[in-house]
């Protein structure tokens, strides 16, 4: 936790008094690193004359490591400074399967060439 928790009297961050703004600069507290390893294997198989088969397999996020995304930035919130969403849930509505930090999907492709 960034601020020490809700029961800490003198945390690193405090709400400004009244209607004053705080004096901390922007982006002083950074988020978490994102790491993802993907793997792709392909095999071309010659069957007959100009006939061939291509087999391909892709695995995304092989290590299946969780990447933390959205960190609560509201100083008055009890969860201030804690990640509440994973990275793949922090980017909007395009589908968490295709976002960085998502689950490790597996896909296969078979193609016949002549």
**pLDDT band, residue 3 (cuts 50/70/90):** low
pLDDT digits (tens, 9 = 90+) for 43-91: 999 999 899 999 999 988 777 777 777 778 777 788 887 888 877 777 6
DSSP string, 40-101: EEEEEEEEETTEEEEEEEEESSTT----B--B---TTSTTTT-B-SBGGGSS-SS-GGGSTT
Give pTM, 2 decimals.
Answer: 0.51
Q: Where are the domains of the chain?
A: 39-113
Structure confidence at residue 57 (pLDDT) = 94
């Amino acid at each position: 936790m960034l601020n020490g928790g809700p029961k800490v009297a003198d945390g690193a961050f405090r709400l400004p008094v009244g209607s004053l703004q705080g004096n901390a600069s922007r982006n002083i507290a950074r988020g978490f690193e994102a790491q993802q390893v993907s793997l792709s294997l392909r095999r071309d198989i010659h069957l007959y004359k100009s006939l061939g088969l291509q087999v391909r397999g892709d695995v995304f996020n092989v290590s299946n490591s969780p990447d933390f995304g959205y960190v609560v930035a509201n100083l008055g919130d009890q969860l201030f400074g804690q990640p509440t969403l994973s990275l793949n849930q922090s980017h909007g509505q395009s589908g968490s399967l295709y976002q960085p930090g998502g689950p490790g999907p597996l896909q296969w492709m078979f193609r016949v060439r002549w």
